[in-house]
Structures are given as C-alpha cells and as structure tokens.
Amino acid sequence: MTLIIIVWVVWNVFAPPALRWDEYPFIFLTLMLSLQASYAAPLILLAQNRQDDRDRVTHEQDRAQNERSIADTEYLTREIASLRMGLGEVATRDWIRSEFVDLIKEMEERRSLFPPEPASGSDEGDR
C-alpha cells in the first residue's frame, strides 16, 4: 500500500502534465484511501471481536486448568499427610530392634533367676 501511494504521488508530481490524473492536493487519492478505510474498519472490528472471544475462551480454559491443578495439589497434600500419619503407627526397624533387645535382656534375667536344671544321667541307666 505504501509503495502504491509513493508511486501515485511521485507520478502525479513529476510526470508530464498531460499524463497526470490526480493533481496536487491529490483529491482522488484521498477518495481512494477513504474508500479503502470504509471497507477495512468493519473488518478490523470483526477481527478484534473474534480475538476477544478467543482470548476469553483461552482464559476460561486456563482458569479451569489452574483449578484442576489446585485440586490435584490439595489431594496429594492430603494423601502425603495421611501417609505420614500412617508411618507414625508402623513399626520401624529401630523400634523392632529395641523390642528384641528388651526381650533378650528379659530372657537373660529370667535365665539367671531360674537357671535350667542340669540333665540327669539316670535316664540312660533306665534303659
């Protein structure tokens, strides 16, 4: 468009007077540009409205995606919290080891209090 306007103005300024079709102040050029603008303006407005609709749909989709992400994050947070609570109730290796140590100590104490009776050799003689 710019090139056409430049050629139009240059031709109508420097061309021989018999070949000029639009003398200065270029009234015919102004009329053509106004005609072009009258067709372009509604098309531009339609394009803007369509872009606004596309932007609105995109924003709604983004909002829905954000809500799903928040819901997923909250769900995972609750699951992690329940797992931590469940792990608190599970017997750990250290706890089991300490229980075994306590049982072994208790068995040793009982053994020291109640030593096993020596096996008698009389069983062999009865045969």
Q: What are phi and psi of 56, to 5 degrees?
A: -65, -45
Q: What are phi and psi of 92, to 5 degrees?
A: -90, 165
Domain boundaries, the chain: 28-113
SS3 assignment for the chain = CHHHHHHHHHHHHHCCCCCCCCCCCCHHHHHHHHHHHHHHHHHHHHHHHHHHHHHHHHHHHHHHHHHHHHHHHHHHHHHHHHHHHHHHHCCCHHHHHHHHHHHHHHHHHHHHHCCCCCCCCHHHHCC
Q: What's residue 110's pLDDT?
A: 87
pTM above 0.85, yes or no: no
For each of the chain's 127 residues, which pLDDT tens digit applies? 899 999 999 999 999 999 998 888 999 999 999 999 999 999 998 889 999 999 999 999 999 999 999 999 999 999 998 888 877 777 778 888 898 999 999 999 888 888 777 776 555 555 4
